[in-house]
A and B are shown apart, each in its own frame.
Chain A
Amino acid sequence: MSHHKIEVSNLHFLYPDGNEAIKDISFTIYHGESVGIIGANGSGKSTLLSLIMGVLFPDKGKVKVGDVTVTKKTLAMIRQRLGMVFQDSDNQLFMTTVFDDVAFGPRNYNMDENEVKIRVDEALEMVGISHLIDRAPFKLSGGEKRAAAIACILSMKPDVLIMDEPTLGLDPKSRRRLINILKGFTHTKIITSHDLDMVFETCDRIIVLKDGKVAASGATLEILTNGELLDKCGLEAPLSLQKCPVCGTLK
């Protein structure tokens, strides 16, 4: 199914302050794939996501979602198909109740109120927070806020889920719950993170960024076991792939 394909070709992006954040990046993500984008701080991960979502526009090159190029004219259609979960959930939750927040997207597409309700119920059910439907988002815990932010995106039924640091700031149990939720999704997924253990569990393929360029791209296990590459890119093998600190054997 080519309509869920994301094609990034020869992308360049220069911030107004002269920082060249993205330098000639090209890759393709196919339907149903789960791709991790990893790299050190300032390697261009968040900028790349903003370019894919059309929050920023490239100076050179283009992003194609299916057969449609991301431009100002195609944004409405693109954004209905791509759902992005922000790094900081507070930026994404701005209504007075969880219900209204999750309903915000569907309502913007002028859906019938009954359909909106069904979608909200489904989305909250998927992330396991149906009981929080009438709560004020600002009163939720960090893990609950993240789940609510994901539900906000799921209610729009996107083809592709894009997540910026989804496990950031979560306690171990909430993180585990989130990983299980992510594993349960059949959507095409793009996840940026420094939590390489989570990437190891949820992604089939990894793209490594270094100084705004693609340093490597390949199967998850292949990339995460390449110590030299990870070291060069300011990263470290995930704990689950490191030797046991007590007995020195691989776990």
Chain B
Amino acid sequence: MPTPFITIRIDDMSKIVDSIYNIRLLDDLARKNTSIHRLHPVSKLLTTIVYLIMLVSFNRYEISGLLPFVFYPMVLILLAELPVMPIFKRLLMVEPMIIGIGILNPLFDPRGWITFASIMTKSGLTVTVCLVLVSTTGLDKIAQALRALKVPSIFVLQLLLTFGYISVLIEELARMVRAYALRAPQQKGVRLKDCGSFAGQLLLRTLDRAQRVYDSMRLRGFNGEYHSYGKSNITWRDILYLIAWSLFFITARMYDIPALLGLMFEGVSN
């Protein structure tokens, strides 16, 4: 009688591997040359930060006030000629987590569905805006902007290396899963009892790899400071972009624009 076992399905895992591997697509998009891509990274980063602060500061029963905030990512996606589907797919990857956070609200709060919708809208918009920022700026330039804003280099470095090496780690994982699958053809997945040594192996391989990468960086004169590239000066255009959008976000935060528009149209029709 075959022994029962819990498995992690290998085909599911390879799908995860595929989608995470595609993370580099954002980097490819960042190399486009549109009016949005040409903006200074500091200006884009600050605009995004103002957007995020304004968005998350809404109270949890507010939904209609959030609507004007859809405008910003939409304009950027259009002007930067970004493909909608890949961004949407990446957004979907985060959604299960958000649903997990918000799904109990309707049970405990009589107006729970409203807070749930508000959480979903806010999270969808914040994630989209961050994805748009990465695909119009590129992580290296965001890092440059963070350094210009005096964020400690250790954090910036952590961000860059994690992003840079995620594909290498995923490849390592994919190789292990493939080796396992080929020697366990009858099985649908990795047995739970093997998962421990699997995770341990991955950690050891990762550490080994990290050490080698660090060695190769040190051999090329790396001393803890990531040097940035092609620094450009901030122009009036960049400042104007930041100020105009910030004013829009602040206005949208202070006044319920959809409600005002509704009133206005009501007034006109009367």
Contact = CB atoms under 8 A, between A and B. Distances in A.
Contacts of B24: 136, 138
Interface string B208-230: 01001101111111110001011
A156 B140 contact: no
B155 interface: no
Interface in A154-172: 156
Most buried by A among B138, B168, B212, B219: B219
Nearest to A91: B212
Contact of A84 (B161, B167, B219, B229): B219
Contacts of A134: 31
Contacts of A84: 216, 219
Contacts of B229: 100, 103, 107, 113
B220 A90 contact: no
A75 B167 CA distance: 31
B20 to A, nearest CB: 13
Given A103-B229, A108-B227, A113-B230, A96 B222 contact: no
Contacts, number: 71
A108 B222 contact: yes
A152 interface: yes
Contacts of A86: 212, 216
Contacts of B140: 95-96, 100
A88 interface: yes
Interface size of A as a range = 20 to 34
Given A96-B139, A100-B229, A138 B167 contact: yes
13 contacts: A75-B218, A76-B223, A79-B218, A83-B219, A91-B216, A97-B31, A103-B229, A104-B220, A104-B222, A108-B222, A108-B223, A113-B229, A136-B28
Interface string B165-179: 101100000000000
B162 to A, nearest CB: 11
B216 A156 contact: no
A110 B227 contact: yes
A32 to B, nearest CB: 22
A108 B220 contact: yes
Nearest to B168: A90
A95 B222 CA distance: 13
A136 B27 CA distance: 9
A53 interface: yes
Contact of A79 (B219, B227, B230): B219
B215 A55 contact: yes
B213 A94 contact: yes
B152 interface: no
A9 interface: no
Nearest to B213: A91
A156 B221 contact: yes
A90 B230 CA distance: 25
User: Which 5 residue pairs of A and B lie closest in terms of their CB atoms, listed nearest first?
Assistant: A108-B221, A105-B220, A107-B227, A91-B212, A92-B216
A103 to B, nearest CB: 7
A220 to B, nearest CB: 27
Contacts of A105: 220-221
A80 interface: yes
A76 B165 CA distance: 25
Interface in B112-164: 138-140, 161, 164
A109 interface: yes
A25 to B, nearest CB: 21
A110 B229 CA distance: 11
Nearest to A103: B229
Contacts of B213: 91, 94
Contacts of B139: 96
A168 to B, nearest CB: 15
Interface string A170-189: 00000000000000000000
Most buried by B among A88, A96, A105: A96
Given A76-B221, A94-B213, A108-B221, 13 more contacts: A55-B215, A75-B218, A84-B219, A91-B209, A91-B216, A100-B140, A104-B220, A104-B227, A107-B227, A107-B229, A113-B229, A136-B24, A138-B24
B60 to A, nearest CB: 38
A156 B220 contact: yes
Nearest to A90: B168
A55 to B, nearest CB: 5
Contacts of B167: 138
Nearest to B229: A100
A153 B24 CA distance: 25
A27 B168 CA distance: 38
A68 to B, nearest CB: 16
